A and B are shown apart, each in its own frame.
Chain A
Amino acid sequence: MTADLTVKADPVALRRRRALAPSRGGRPWTFYVLAALFTLYVIALYGPMVCIYILSFQDVRGGLVFPMRGTSLHWFVDLFTQVRTGDVKGAFSRSIRLAVVVTIITVVVSFMSGLAFRRRFAGDTVVFYLMIGSLVAPGLVLGIGVGLICNTLGIEASWYSTALGAQLSWTLPFGVLVMFAVMSRLNNAWEEAARDLGATAWQTTFLVIIPILAPGLVAVALFGFTLSYDEFTRTLLTAGSLNTLPLEIWSMTLNVTSPSLYALGTVTTLISFIIIGVCLSSIARIQKRRAVGPGAH
């Protein structure tokens, strides 16, 4: 009485299924349109910068416009040896030191506010909107304001005091916003488990929370560093007599008329890429150690 209910694969049905999925073969015409659009976009985005990098490798006869005149590293040497191009070395070291300080403060403060904002507290929405407010405030106006207040209070503007404050008004809200996204991955149960196993609040923070959030903290650090390293509008009126690198570049565009300006662009870009590369690879290393590698410690 047992009926055979299994159905044999029907060759006609198989053929029909294939016919319903034509994308397996050629791509639709929309693909080529969108691909062309994307290519144009990439050229518009990176073309101008690439022009500057190329022109920075000219030789002594080089000018500010195409065509290329010879190839050499002349203008890179010129950049660091000639006094007339300004204090590039000093500006560079100031910018790096400032960016490091900004990064440390940004990471520490955003981490702590991220922890604070996990619970509701009195006035939390007000604090949040105040923070967003400082993000949307025009940078130049904010810089003028900082300058004015310091002037009134008799504080002398310098890159390590007033400019630091002005930059933090920009990097902190960013850092906190990124931290919110990072914190959403943090499960309360981990902290509770740590407490259950006898960990103190400090032990929980340093042995559980920070290691788990490490990739996110690196991302916040990267944000803080790059935002500070090329910050211009807020720094312009608050840096005092000594320039940071973006200010130095800007003043060079006004009085330097040689490809050493382009050489400076190439060098600073290279440094940015190195920093981004280091950060991303350290995030990747952390993730990889967690995902694969039995025996990893």
Chain B
Amino acid sequence: MAVENGSIELAGIVKSYDGNTRVVDGVNLRIPDRAYCCFLGPSGCGKTTILRMIAGHEDPTHGEILIGGQDVVGLAPVERRTAMMFQSYALFPHLNVRDNIAFALRVRGVGSQERRKAADAMIEKVRLTELADRLPAQLSGGQQQRVALARAAITGPKVLLLDEPLSALDEQLRVQMRQELSRMQRDLGITFIHVTHTQLEAIAIADIVVVMEKGKIKQAGPARDVYDQPQDRYVAEFLGGQNVLAGQIERIEGDSAVIASQEMRDVVVPLGVRRTASTGDRVDFAVRRDDVDLMRPERGGNSERAKVPSRVRAIEYQGNFVKVILDKVGQDELIAYVPDRVFYRDPFSIGDVVIAGWEKQNARMLA
């Protein structure tokens, strides 16, 4: 009956604490064995609750959780072959690194010799050998995280659940530990489920990104799909890097719509997911910020490009690119990421009138 692999299936999961508000509201998801999956969403969207339900620290109000094909609702964490790494790591402050890591073996009644051997092997795996006798308070954040990882991994789980594992670290260390998590996941060959509210973290590390809002899954798929082809305004805005603009369809031309609003005229957008849209509909579409380029108004341009006249409102130098913030289009931000070298060939200054343009096929309709 033991769980043999780390594939996970969530079927119609609902969680409600008071019977009224649903923290998790009907989640269906399939995560293959040995995948690195990130749940991404703002705080309070239910992502941590899902993690805790997979871990067995909470039970779903409705629905089934299958791990390795077996329904695990009601089973203890150990029987599920899951292990959890807590947000602040929850290392036992009175035990040294070795005893922390060996804790799971100790409560199973493994003898002290054998326990020590297994713990030391794991300590070596996370490169903490010279710190084995230290107490958690004497370790840096990154070292504590490695102890937490080793402690969770020592029982050979099939699924490792990580609750905001990088949020306690400073920026530089976060990038470094991100790589380390990725390496550990490949080393251990098990499923990792990682909860975060940081978009960059999720898309950098995950095979599958699950974007959540208010207890529901908004979009799930490979990182690049979710970033490059967001399904709706929420996903596009949450993942960032996109301009999300609203307008009204003026007319349909073949498989494209011609969209207009107070600030835009004759912007052509392929119909894409809004195949059934008709004249007069209000629609949202997205254009990546790095697909937007800026021109001085006196220069013309070909008609294959969408053009929005605007003005430079603010300029932020970001190193390899320059973030140029333009006047809003209705309620929506319009921002261009211009490569550093391109920008400084003919730099704009605040207040300059510009034409923001993009290739027609780079705009995407949103649901």
Within 8 A of A (CB), among B107-165: 107-108, 133-135, 137-138, 151-152, 155
B175 at the interface (CB under 8 A from A): no
B78 at the interface (CB under 8 A from A): yes
Contact A291 B92 (CB under 8 A): no
A295 at the interface (CB under 8 A from B): yes
Give the Cβ gap from A284 to chain B, nearest Cβ, in Å: 15
Q: How many residues of chain B get a CB closer than 8 Å to chain A's CBs?
A: 28
Q: A196-B83, A294-B138, A295-B133 are in contact. Are A212 and B93 (CB under 8 A)?
A: yes
Within 8 A of A (CB), among B39-95: 55, 57, 76-78, 83-84, 86-88, 90, 92-94
Q: How many residues of chain A get a CB closer than 8 Å to chain B's CBs?
A: 24
Contact B86 A193 (CB under 8 A): yes
Q: A198-B104, A203-B107 are in contact. Are A211 and B94 (CB under 8 A)?
A: yes
Contact A212 B107 (CB under 8 A): no
Pick from A196, A203, A294: contact of B57, CB under 8 Å: A196
Rounded to whole angstroms, the CA-CA distance of A297 and B133 in the bound complex is 8
Rounded to whole angstroms, the CA-CA distance of A192 and B161 in the bound complex is 13
A200 at the interface (CB under 8 A from B): yes
Contact B94 A198 (CB under 8 A): no
Rounded to whole angstroms, the CA-CA distance of A291 and B133 in the bound complex is 13
Contact A198 B133 (CB under 8 A): no
Within 8 A of B (CB), among A258-297: 290-291, 294-297
Give the Cβ gap from B9 to chain A, nearest Cβ, in Å: 21
Q: A189-B86, A189-B90, A197-B155 are in contact. Are A290 and B137 (CB under 8 A)?
A: yes
Pick from B96, B107, B134: contact of A198, CB under 8 Å: B107
Contact A198 B77 (CB under 8 A): yes
B106 at the interface (CB under 8 A from A): yes
Inside 8 A of A211's CB, which chain B residues have their CB? Answer: 92, 94
For B77, B107, B133, B151, the residue with the greatest tally of chain A CB atoms inside 10 Å of its CB is B107
A64 at the interface (CB under 8 A from B): no
Contact B57 A194 (CB under 8 A): no
Contact B135 A196 (CB under 8 A): no
Q: A207-B106, A212-B92 are in contact. Are A195 and B133 (CB under 8 A)?
A: no
Contact A199 B107 (CB under 8 A): yes
Q: Do most interface residues of chain A lie in helix, strand or loop, or is the interface mixed? A: helix
A108 at the interface (CB under 8 A from B): no
Inside 8 A of B77's CB, which chain A residues have their CB? Answer: 195-196, 198
Inside 8 A of B88's CB, which chain A residues have their CB? Answer: 187, 189
A208 at the interface (CB under 8 A from B): yes
- Of all chain B residues, the one with the shortest Cβ separation from A202 is B107
Inside 8 A of A207's CB, which chain B residues have their CB? Answer: 103, 106-107
Give the Cβ gap from B95 to chain A, nearest Cβ, in Å: 8
Contact A196 B84 (CB under 8 A): yes
A190 at the interface (CB under 8 A from B): yes
In the complex, per-residue mask of A160-192: 1 if CB is within 8 Å of any chain B CB, else 0: 000000000000000000000000000101101
Contact A193 B107 (CB under 8 A): no
Contact B55 A194 (CB under 8 A): no
Give the Cβ gap from A187 to chain B, nearest Cβ, in Å: 7
Give the Cβ gap from A287 to chain B, nearest Cβ, in Å: 11
- Of all chain B residues, the one with the shortest Cβ separation from A211 is B94
- Of all chain B residues, the one with the shortest Cβ separation from A292 is B138
Pick from B86, B92, B93, B152: contact of A192, CB under 8 Å: B86
* 7 residue pairs, one from A and one from B, having the closest CB atoms: A189-B90, A197-B104, A193-B90, A198-B78, A199-B107, A211-B94, A196-B77
Q: Enumerate 19 A-B pairs (CB-CB under 8 Å) in ascending A order.
A: A187-B90, A189-B88, A190-B90, A194-B107, A195-B57, A196-B83, A196-B152, A197-B78, A197-B83, A199-B103, A200-B107, A207-B103, A207-B107, A212-B92, A212-B93, A290-B94, A290-B137, A291-B137, A296-B133
What is the interface of chain B, defined by CB distance below 8 A to chain A? 55, 57, 76-78, 83-84, 86-88, 90, 92-94, 96, 103-104, 106-108, 133-135, 137-138, 151-152, 155
